[in-house]
Amino acid sequence: MTAGIDLAPALVEEDHGPDLTRDIARALVDNLQRSGGRSQSPPPLQGPPPRSPALRRITDVITANPGGNHSLGELAKHLNVSPSHLTRLFREELSTTPARHVEMIRFDMAKALLDQGHTAKQTASLAGFPNYESMRRVFVRELSLSPAAYQYRFSTARRADEGQR
Q: Which pLDDT does position 31 carry in this prediction? A: 44
Q: How far apart are CA 119 and CA 122, in angstroms?
A: 5
Q: Which pLDDT does position 36 carry in this prediction? A: 39
Mean of all residue pLDDT scores within the chain: 79
Q: Which pLDDT does position 40 carry in this prediction? A: 39
Domain boundaries defined on the chain: 2-163
Is the separation of the CB atoms in 35 and 116 below 8 Å? Answer: yes
CATH ID of 2-163, from 1.10.10.60, 3.40.50.360, 3.30.360.10, 3.40.250.10: 1.10.10.60
pLDDT tops 60 at residue 43: no
Across the range 2-21, mean pLDDT stands at 63
Across the range 42-65, mean pLDDT stands at 77
pLDDT tens digit sequence for 135-160: 999 999 999 999 999 998 877 555 54
For the ranges 12-16, 74-78, 85-89, the lowest mean pLDDT is seen at 12-16
Which residues have C-beta within 8 Å of that of residue 29, sequence separation ≥ 6?
A: 42, 43, 45, 63, 64, 66, 109
Q: Which pLDDT does position 111 carry in this prediction? A: 94
Q: Which pLDDT does position 88 carry in this prediction? A: 95
pLDDT tens digit sequence for 109-129: 999 999 999 999 999 999 999
Q: How many CB atoms lie within 10 A of CB 91?
A: 12
Which residues have C-beta within 8 Å of that of residue 7, sequence separation ≥ 6?
A: none
Q: Which pLDDT does position 138 carry in this prediction? A: 97
Alpha helices in the chain (DSSP H): 2-16, 18-33, 53-64, 72-79, 83-94, 98-115, 120-126, 132-143, 147-163
Across the range 16-35, mean pLDDT stands at 56
